[in-house]
Structure 1
Amino acid sequence: MASRPLYIVIAVAGIAAASAGAWWSQHRPARAIEGIPPGASPAAASVGGASAAGRPPVVEVARVEVMRLSDDAQAVGSLRSRQSVMLRPEVSGRVTRINFRDGERVRRGQLLVQLDDQLPQAQVQQSRAELSIARANHKRNQDLAGQGFISQRQVDESAANLQVAEAKLALAEATAARLKIVAPFDGITGIRNVSVGDYLKDGADIVNLEDLDALFVDFRLPERFQGKLKPGQSAAVQIDALPGRRWNAVVQAIDPLVDANGRSIGIRGCIDNRQLQLRPGMFARVTAVFGERERALVVPEEAVVPQGNRQFVYRLADGPDQDSKAAQRVEIKIGLRRPGRVEITEGLRAGDLVVTAGQQRIQRDGMPVRVMDVGRAATAQPAGSAPVAPADPAVAGASAPRSAVTTEANGDSAAPRRPAAPAREAVAGPNPCSVATAGAPTAGPRAAR
């Protein structure tokens, strides 16, 4: 019982010691945390993580680049023939002649399939004979009426009979013409489904005819792009079946109706296909180009520090000595975004150095910092060159923007690389999509006989 008060005193002393230790850990001087000797001057301690020796914090930087950017949007679509038709007979009949070969180019008005027309041709001959008699009778009645031998009524009846004979002949010729299947436009035939001797009913499939000199690419874009779309814009088309090639398409039509299900807009572009390298039905990847900026300023996206609705970067200026720089916070306006890159429209100039890593160590404007591998990062780019290739290792590893000019890492440097060149277009006649092509026109394929 006598030891119980002793236990209470020991417990109270332990609680007091623990409370004092907690208070001291929360209120100890900043010098002790940073490891700065008590006798050191305040200027020796750099704010925000400076070493015990007072050296400024290390940051990674990148240089503001100048490159050509495209304001574009990507979509997928399908290729379609400019004109496509499945030839079918209007009347029933037996096939007596086929005047084309599968996959052959034909001309408009060329006879492709002839059905048995013996009976209609006989009716045409009969109608021509009746027309000849009616014309002679009417001429004779006109002469007799002039001499006063017959009345005017007989002349009128002969004129009506002449008109009836002309109508019968026109009807017989139209009936015979329906047994001739001709090409409605210039194109290439498909694989026929009939042979000589087949009896075809009206509406039976004979062969498809495709106009491949120009192909339509149909694709859809979200409704937010409606203000940027207009006929005459260009679009780059890539085909998965033909990798490494690009074709230029011209926007010809924009659907005025927005699809209520997907909130998208239908767009149709035209591709010059006189080389016949593309086929209808192919899957296409389309990049619609709304505009291009020849000298756009871009920085890595990690250099941008958002604060509310405002965007900032830390730009480096000359520091107090050769080994350090002064970090200045600059408000910017951003434009286009690309994977890994952001366009800067206001606040920076070409060649400026911006901080890409270590912004959290900069606690005040104008604070001195050290640049990682400053000898390479600060290498000057020749004036007037575009794009400006970064020399800093952190910049060289950044992903390239999806633009008209991209960069491809090659060792420690980045060399400009342009996309695959558009496919060379044929020059047989005028361009069906109104796209200027170089070279003298050459004779087109000869029509099938």
Structure 2
Amino acid sequence: MSKPVKTVVTILVILLITGLAFYPRLKEYASKKEEKGAGAGKNAGAGAKGGAPGKAGGPAPIEILVVASQRIEEKILSTGTIIANEEVEIRSEIAGRITSINFKEGDYIQKGTVLIRINDADLQAQLQKLEYQKKLAEVNEERQKRLLEKEAISQRDYDISLTNLNSMNADIENLKAQIAKTVIKAPFDGTVGLRYISSGSYVNNATRIATLTNVNPAKLDFSVPAKYATSVRKGTGITFSTEGGEEKYRGTVYAVEPKIDPSTRTLTLRATSPNPGRKLVPGAFARVEIILNAKPNAIIVPTEAVIPDLRGHRVFIVKNNKAETISVEIGIRNDKTIEITKGLMPGDTLITSGILQVKAGGEVDIKK
């Protein structure tokens, strides 16, 4: 093969390889060009049938609310726990065997009612012995006193006999105090809970006998955020309900923790509520509501109707079937509503939905 022919063959091979490499891209480019041409033809046909395309836009579809004054309350919502007015675990101050149990579980008892008696036979015997010794000491003291008056004994001898008598009296009082501890009485009116002992049981100061609870009035512990520390004080009224019930109860704050909890940034309060029917059970969960401020004639609008901007807040209203934007000032804010303190008046037609499609001065289409 001659050199010119070899050169031509080489060039043809290179062109063939290059063509194969770029063929898919050329095919894709040709397809797009065809689609673009077809689309232009359709648009031209549509223009020929219907004329030039219409002007974009039109009245924006909206929903409205006629502004009216209504009552609004600034309130704190919290949770708390019902606790007893008074509660104590009944335990014995001394060790001994129980000789009688004078209450039934669940009984409502009065203050001073005897609940438990502990065996005091040994203490009574000791008391009787001391009483006999006291009589002897009294006789000896009287005799020593007469002898002292006759100067038959020294003052020291008489002082010893008098001290002995006084010691006897002190021992007797101490023993009587020990005997009194064998009778356990109710420290206040209340309901006795479950008992954990039986007659004949041996008890000491670590033995739990039962629980005595007074629930009228009931107490309620709850917390409020630190920012309300100066708003809630002693005498503040509250409303609450318990879990599983819709009945509303009223109470009054009577004690406030003197400091804010640094770990939760909350202030703990305690309220009391009348509970004559004993419906409020200690340990129950409670939903608490505290009304800080109430306005009877406030203007309330939905949260989504208020638009924040750099200068504050604004809303859209409808005038002459057109949208108009006005600046407003807000007050109390809840999860779904906002109070408008300035800018709106009762009777204004407020746009509540479709705000994104609305522009100042634009026509609107009020949905029915």
Q: Would you call these one fold, judging by a TM-score over 0.5?
A: yes
* Partner of residue 285 from structure 2, selected from 283, 286, 301: 283
Separation in 1, partners of 2:217, 2:235? 16
Separation in 1, partners of 2:228, 2:345? 30
1:139 positional shift: 4.1
Measured against aligned partners, the alpha-carbon deviations of 1:142-198 in whole angstroms (never above 9, x if no partner) come to 444445444433332232122211111111112212222222222110011112112
Separation in 1, partners of 2:233, 2:317? 39
Amino acid at match of 1:170: E
Question: 1:298 aligns to what?
Answer: 300
Separation in 2, partners of 1:194, 1:127? 33
* Partner of residue 350 from structure 1, selected from 346, 349, 361: 346
1:130 and 2:133 are equivalent in the alignment: yes
Within-5 A mapping of 1:166-205 = 166-205=169-208
Q: Is there any run of 5+ residues in structure 1 with no aligned partner, and where? A: 1-13, 22-31, 37-47, 51-56, 374-449
1:281 positional shift: 1.6
Measured against aligned partners, the alpha-carbon deviations of 1:354-382 in whole angstroms (never above 9, x if no partner) come to 222344555446x6756555xxxxxxxxx
Within-5 A mapping of 1:12-411 = 35=55, 49-50=58-59, 59-241=62-244, 243-316=245-318, 319=320, 324=321, 327-360=323-356, 362-364=358-360, 371-372=366-367
Separation in 2, partners of 1:244, 1:183? 35
Measured against aligned partners, the alpha-carbon deviations of 1:99-155 in whole angstroms (never above 9, x if no partner) come to 111111222332210000011112222223333443444344444444544443333
Amino acid at match of 1:345: T
Contact 1:103 1:188 in 2 (8 A): yes
Amino acid at match of 1:49: G
Separation in 2, partners of 1:132, 1:33? 128
Separation in 1, partners of 2:318, 2:149? 112
Contact 2:58 2:363 in 1 (8 A): no
Contact 1:65 1:299 in 2 (8 A): no
1:333 positional shift: 1.7
Structure label with greater radius of gyration: 2
Contact 1:233 1:289 in 2 (8 A): no
Amino acid at match of 2:58: G
1:205 positional shift: 1.0
Measured against aligned partners, the alpha-carbon deviations of 1:41-69 in whole angstroms (never above 9, x if no partner) come to xxxxxxx734xxxxxx6643212333333
Kindly, what percent of the aligned residue pairs are identical?
29
Measured against aligned partners, the alpha-carbon deviations of 1:405-434 in whole angstroms (never above 9, x if no partner) come to xxxxxxxxxxxxxxxxxxxxxxxxxxxxxx
Separation in 2, partners of 1:360, 1:264? 40
SS of 1:244's equivalent in the other structure is coil
Measured against aligned partners, the alpha-carbon deviations of 1:288-335 in whole angstroms (never above 9, x if no partner) come to 333333333211222212213511123445x4xxxx4x6543322212
Question: 1:6 aligns to what?
Answer: none
Separation in 2, partners of 1:294, 1:100? 55
TM-score (norm: length of structure 1): 0.63
Contact 2:323 2:359 in 1 (8 A): no
Q: Judging changes above 3 Å, is the alpha-carbon distance between structure 1 residues 240 and 144 closer, same or farther for their aligned structure 2 residues?
A: same
Separation in 1, partners of 2:286, 2:218? 12
Per chain length, whose mean CA-contact separation is higher, i.e. which structure has more relative contact order (CA < 8 Å, sep 6+)?
2
Q: Give the CA RMSD over aligned residues.
A: 3.1
TM-score (norm: length of structure 2): 0.76
Amino acid at match of 1:310: G
Measured against aligned partners, the alpha-carbon deviations of 1:267-302 in whole angstroms (never above 9, x if no partner) come to 322222221112112222222333333333211222
1:348 positional shift: 2.5
SS of 2:271's equivalent in the other structure is strand
- Count of aligned residue pairs for this structure pair: 322
SS of 2:234's equivalent in the other structure is coil
**Structure with a larger share of its residues in helix:** 2
Q: Judging changes above 3 Å, is the alpha-carbon distance between structure 1 residues 309 and 267 closer, same or farther for their aligned structure 2 residues?
A: farther
SS of 2:175's equivalent in the other structure is helix
Q: Is there any run of 5+ residues in structure 2 with no aligned partner, and where? A: 1-32, 41-51
Separation in 2, partners of 1:293, 1:121? 72
